[in-house]
Amino acid sequence: MGSALPLGDPAPRDGLLPASAAVGAVERDFGVYLHVPFCRVRCGYCDFNTYTATELRGASQQDYADQAISEVEAAGRILDASGVPARAAATVFFGGGTPTLLPAEHLVRMLDAVRSTWGLAAGAEVTTEANPDSVDAAYLARLAEAGFTRVSFGMQSAVPRVLATLERTHDPEKVPLVVQWARDAGLDVSLDLIYGTPGESLADWRASLEQAIGLAPTHISAYSLIVEEGTKLARQIKRGELVPIDEDQQAEFYELADELLAEAGYGWYEVSNWAADDAHRSRHNLAYWRSQDWWGVGPGAHSHVGGVRWWNVKHPSAYADRIQAGDSPAAGRETLDDATREVERVLLLTRIREGIPIVSLTAQGRHEIAGLIADELIDAKAALSGSVELTRRGRLLADAVVRRLLTD
């Protein structure tokens, strides 16, 4: 049911933000994330804050949309009372869990609350995640009619044996159908893939990539499987029932993905994300990497405004109690100091294609550039033009690059 919440200072019951959150806000984009914490079954690898029907302990999926709408409306009041200037939402993202377990009208009502509270910017990107077995053509058409622009399907793999290990319940043969339904509705399509599942071969991974590419989505994400402590998958590995993929194999999987996606015309723009063109990058995800502002709605959701970060109580029943009482659902928060914000700036910007301006690094960081070029971790031509851009090898070793750029 998700990893533990981070440590931080207690959040005030009224949710008001310090004055520092408003500084420079007009220069930052504003987005909204709506967490829908419900899943039909729990996948063995999942560490997200999600709950099956038997884990809700009195919370109700049927009531959830009203609770989320209450938080959206309260968020508008809190930002206004905190002196943060009103900005239309540039992006809205429904994640989970499986948002599409809720009726389409519930998601529409939640989007309408965002629209009435802040407005949607011209050309706003509005995305929902979905499992291939959780939607039909009419459902997707209703979302498009209401203003959704994108759907991100959790394809994960095209190989039934791999899906079984992940405990994914959808039929891989349904993926082409739901992609076509989304396309018919006028929605852009992103496909999420996972590589490095125990027992997955390079040939399996190639098959998944080739099927995903053949469906011609506008966006593809490919994430390395992370074995999180406390998950069923971690216990299976500990008992010797499954053998994890080692780092060298993971690197081979990544290199194959980048090679096949590039050949098909997809350009990487973040270490784990590729788009058919710049217009189809996930602007919501880029807002995270660029440290823009967003309000996270729902149990366990995280928010960030002007260097102030906070997170909501985790369980849907605790969240519902806070909302019903008229209190902020925030469990804790932190105000980032300048040093922490600088570390995060380097860490996050280095992962996206445009990278980070060399002139913005410390003297020691700039001193590392020649060595990073020599080690084939950053692109020499980009460096000569003034920015750090990771090579394919650099993307595999991105954390090491960041450590060198931050060397004192």
Nearest CA to 78 out of 264, 312, 242, 377 is that of 312
In the block, residue with structure tokens 């995800």: 285
Question: 404 falls in which pLDDT band (50, 70, 90)?
Answer: very high
What one-letter code names the amino acid at 398? A
Q: Determine how many CB atoms are found less than 10 A away from the CB of residue 22.
A: 17
Average pLDDT over residues 72-81: 98
Question: 1 falls in which pLDDT band (50, 70, 90)?
Answer: very low
Angle at 27 between CA 8 and CA 399, to 5 degrees: 50
Question: 124 falls in which pLDDT band (50, 70, 90)?
Answer: very high
How many residues would you count in the chain?
408
* Alpha-carbon span 85 to 307, nearest angstrom: 15
* Alpha-carbon span 347 to 356, nearest angstrom: 10
**Tokens for 343?**
């570390």
Average pLDDT over residues 29-54: 89
The full set of domains in the chain, from first to last, is 9-289 (3.20.20.70), 337-408 (no CATH)
Residue 90 has pLDDT above 70, yes or no: yes
CA dihedral defined by 96, 100, 101, 104, rounded to 10 degrees?
A: 130
Q: Determine how many CB atoms are found less than 10 A away from the CB of residue 103.
A: 14
Question: 408 falls in which pLDDT band (50, 70, 90)?
Answer: low
Percent of the chain with pLDDT over 70: 99
SS3 for 96-151 is ECCHHHCCHHHHHHHHHHHHHHCCEEEEEEEEEEECCCCCCHHHHHHHHHHCCCEE
Output the average pLDDT for the chain: 95
Average pLDDT over residues 227-240: 90
Res 59: pLDDT: 86
pLDDT per position as a tens digit, 139-150: 999 999 999 999
Res 48: pLDDT: 85
Q: Determine how many CB atoms are found less than 10 A away from the CB of residue 359.
A: 8
Residue 4 has pLDDT above 70, yes or no: no
Question: 384 falls in which pLDDT band (50, 70, 90)?
Answer: very high
Residues whose CB is less than 8 angstroms from the CB of residue 308 and which lie 6 or more positions away in sequence, other chains included = 17, 18, 20, 21, 333, 334, 335, 336
pTM: 0.96
